[in-house]
Structure 1
Amino acid sequence: MRNVTAVVAVPALILSFSAAWAADVTTTDEMHQEDAAPRSMTQVPQTHMFDGINLTEQQRQQMRDLMQQARHERSPISINDLEQLHELIIAEKFDETAYKAKLDSIAQAEVAWQVDMARVRNQMYHLLTPGQQGVLNQKHQQRMNQMRQLTDMHPSSSLHAVSSK
């Protein structure tokens, strides 16, 4: 059952992270637009980081530059990784060791990318004035409280229930 969960979860996870990457790249352009389509906090929580912060044009440009640099440093998804996972899935005999090794390499690359994105967000945060940082911290606390309320209402997620079988 764990193998089935991994087969289903990993490609979905890769795609969700690529969507998060795309959302992160465009967030700085969209964060000052009031009519931008809302995203679910549980899907891409970091894309909300600068929502509600009034930025100067210079700050917006600096943030766009940081995101542009991050975008050029890494592509959001490796088609080669997906192909290799698919080949392992459709092989005549399932090679669990090879599949786990591929998943580990994908996970390590994803962790490295998340660290890079956190570094970019840190640089963005430090472009803000102290007043903007205070607003950002208040909004972050509000989002965390909302997430706590959601998790209190749904203590056991269906994904956790499926993966623990």
Structure 2
Amino acid sequence: MGKAFSRLRHATAMHTDRRIRSTHAVISAMRAIKMFTWEKLFIGILEAARKSEMAVIQRKALLMSFNTSLFGTLTKIVVFLILLTYVMLGNPLMADKLLSPGLPGPVFQAFLTIALINSVQNSVSVYFPMSIIMNAEVYMTCARLQKILEMEEKDEVGRIQHMETQLSPKVSL
């Protein structure tokens, strides 16, 4: 599930970057676009980019809703499977044998199992998947920041200082 979220996050980032670059190019060339009446063409390009971006976002939302829907049902399924395994191993789960000498009875064990599973329900059903999703988000963000930080630096300061020395005449007395 975490890998699926990571892939969808990466795909969303790529589509968003492509759409933002296209939008920036359109805004930068607005005068030429207006002059040659290419508005409809570029609107179509931007709408297609947004449509593909939204398709990835919708897939991510569908996966998130599936993950959220597991919250209520997963604990009940786990309790059922544990009790089914307990009974299939030959242990009776009857109320008339509630207390064995010195040991809690099977019904007590069943209720204890249900209580323990319900106590960790939020941790297992909500917080653990959320941590996987957030870790995938952090990983993607760090990977994108790493690309930015590894880009070649431009020496803007040196160029500005060079321009200032060319513009400033030497004055001597």
Structure-1-length-normalised TM-score = 0.34
Greater helix content:
2
Q: Computing the radius of gyration over CA atoms, which structure comes out larger, 1 or 2?
A: 2
TM-score of the pair, normalised by structure 2: 0.32
Question: Relative contact order, CA 8 A, sep 6+: which one is greater?
Answer: 1
